[in-house]
Amino acid sequence: MTKLTRLAAASVLSICATGVLAQDTVTLRVWDTFTETSEGMDALIAAFEEANPDIDIQRDVQSVDDMSPTIQTALNSGSGPDVFYYDTGPGFSGVLADAGLLRPLDELYDSGELDHLYEWTRERSTFGGQTYGIGNAVEFLSVYYNADIFEEHGLSEPSTYEEFLSACDTLKEAGIIPVAFGNAAGWPAFHIFSLYANNLVPQDQLQAMIRGEQSWDAPEVVEAIDAAFVEMQDRGCYSPSVNAASYDDANALFTSGMAAMTMTGSWIIPVFSEAPFNVDFFFLPAPEGGTTTPPAGLGSGYFVSATTENPEAAERFLTFIFDPENASYWVEDMSILPPYPVEAGEVDATPLLAKTMESLDPDAMGLNIDVLTPEAFNTTMLDGFQAVLGGDRTAEEQAAALQSSVGQ
C-alpha cells in the first residue's frame, strides 16, 4: 500500500467516525524508543489520529538507555504512560508483570483482532498464564560487512567458521579492524553469546537450559564463551578496548569504514542503509561440529499500564498499528518487520531490508537468549562477559556463574 493510499484509507475511516467528533477527546500517553525512525512513527500516529478523531496521542520518544531505568518508577508513581514500548521477555516486561504494573491483553487476543500475528510472538510476552504485550520487530542476529572492503581484499562471504577467521586475519594484516565490538554497556555481549551458543549448543538442549531443566555449565556453553570472548579477542578480531567502547562507538567504526564487520541485529538496518558503501550480511558460520543457527526473536513490544484510565483507547491504538494494512509504515518508514508475514513485493523495502525479509524464517532459527532469561541471569551475563573480555574470569568460571544465577 502506498503512502497516498494509506492516507486515503485513513480519511475514509475519519469520515466514518464523524459521529464521534462531538465526544470529548481522550488523551493517550504513549512512550516509545524509535529515536532513529521517529518521523515514521509520527506518520503512523497521524494516520491513527485521523482515523480516530476522539483519541489524541501524546507521544514521548526516548532512548532505550533512558527508558529502561525509568519505566518501572514511572508506572509505580502514576506519572508514566498509558501505552509504552519495552523489551519483551521475563527479564524485562516480565519483571513489570510480576510487579502488577501491566494490564493483561488476553481479551484483545481472544477477540480475533490479532489472529494474523505469528502465534509464537504471543508466548514471548505471556507470564504466569496471562498475556501482557504485543511483541514487535521480528529480528535476527548476523554479521554485517562492508562489501566494498571485502571486494577490495579479495574476500567473499565466509561459508565456514574457518573462512570467517581467515577473513579476520586478512583484514587485520591490511590494517583494518576485522570486527567492531563495543561492550561498555555490557548488553552487546549478549548478542555475541547468542550467536555462538546457538551454533554450538543443540537447540533442544538450549531450550531446556532456558527452562532450567539442564545446566549452563555444560561443555558446549564453555566452548561458546571461550570462542566468542577469548579466542576472538586473542586473535585480534575485535576492535581495541572492547569494554571501554560503546555500542554506538562500534557502529561508528563500521559506518566510517574503519572496521569491516560487526555483529548485531537487524534493528540496525536503518542506520546501515545510510552508510557510504555497500553493506551486506551473512549468518555467522558454526565452528566445526556445530550447526549454523542464527538467533531470532522479537525486539521490544507494546504494553499497557495497569492503571490506565483509557484501556479501550489503548486497545484501539494497538489494533490499528498492528493492522497488516499499515505494514508499509513499519517496513518503509521504519525498516522494522512487524510480527506477521509481509511479502517483500508488497512494500517498498531497501535492498538490505528486502534481503532480511527473504532470509527470515522464524520457524527455523535459534533463540536470542537474553530476551528469554530472567533478570538475575542477564545481570550475570552482563558482568561476567565483561570480566571474561577483561581477562578476569575464565570461560569455565563464567559458565558456572550462569548456572549459579538460575533460580535467583
Kindly state whether residue 333 falls inside one of the protein's structural domains. no
Structural domain for 23, as ranges: 3-137+299-322
Neighbouring residues of 79: CB distance < 8 A, sequence distance ≥ 6: none
Same domain, 35 and 111: yes
**Residue bearing the bigger pLDDT, 53 or 299:** 53
pLDDT in tens, 108-130: 999 999 999 998 899 889 999 99
Same domain, 212 and 95: no
Same domain, 243 and 382: yes
Same domain, 59 and 24: yes
User: What grid cell was written down for 137?
Assistant: 520487530
Same domain, 205 and 308: no
Question: pLDDT averaged over the chain?
Answer: 92
Nearest to 139 by CA among 37, 264, 47, 53: 264
Q: What is the DSSP letter of 309?
A: S
pLDDT in tens, 59-90: 999 998 899 889 999 999 999 999 999 998 88
Q: What percent of the chain has pLDDT over 70?
A: 94
Taking a C-beta distance cutoff of 8 angstroms, is the pair 34, 62 a contact?
A: no
Cβ atoms < 10 Å from Cβ of 200 = 25
pLDDT in tens, 129-153: 999 999 998 899 999 999 999 999 9
First and final CA of the chain: distance in angstroms? 48
Kindly state whether residue 200 falls inside one of the protein's structural domains. yes
Neighbouring residues of 386: CB distance < 8 A, sequence distance ≥ 6: 183, 186, 189, 243
Same domain, 289 and 381: yes
pLDDT in tens, 230-262: 999 999 999 999 999 999 999 999 999 999 999
Q: Give mean pLDDT, residues 286-293.
A: 90
Q: Give mean pLDDT, residues 342-363.
A: 86
For position 299, what pLDDT does the model report? 82
What is the full DSSP assignment across 164-227? HHHHHHHHHHTT-EEEE---TTSTHHHHHHHHHHHHHS-HHHHHHHHTTSS-TTSHHHHHHHII
For position 23, what pLDDT does the model report? 60
pLDDT in tens, 2-27: 444 444 444 444 445 444 444 689 99
Indicate yes or no: pTM above 0.85.
no
Query: What is the rounded distance in angstroms from the CA atom of residue 45 to the CA atom of residue 129?
Result: 31
Number of domains, the chain: 2
Is the predicted pLDDT of residue 377 greater than 80, yes or no? yes
Same domain, 110 and 216: no
Kindly state whether residue 385 falls inside one of the protein's structural domains. yes
Query: What is the rounded distance in angstroms from the CA atom of residue 276 to the CA atom of residue 33?
Result: 25
The residue length of the chain stands at 408
Kindly state whether residue 124 falls inside one of the protein's structural domains. yes
Nearest to 101 by CA among 402, 307, 302, 366: 307
Same domain, 128 and 150: no
Kindly state whether residue 337 falls inside one of the protein's structural domains. no
Q: Give mean pLDDT, residues 260-284.
A: 94
Same domain, 93 and 54: yes
Same domain, 398 and 387: yes
Kindly state whether residue 279 falls inside one of the protein's structural domains. yes
Q: What is the CATH number of the domain that holds 12?
A: 3.40.190.10
Same domain, 126 and 248: no
Kindly state whether residue 81 falls inside one of the protein's structural domains. yes
Kindly state whether residue 35 falls inside one of the protein's structural domains. yes
**Residue bearing the bigger pLDDT, 20 or 53:** 53
Same domain, 96 and 172: no
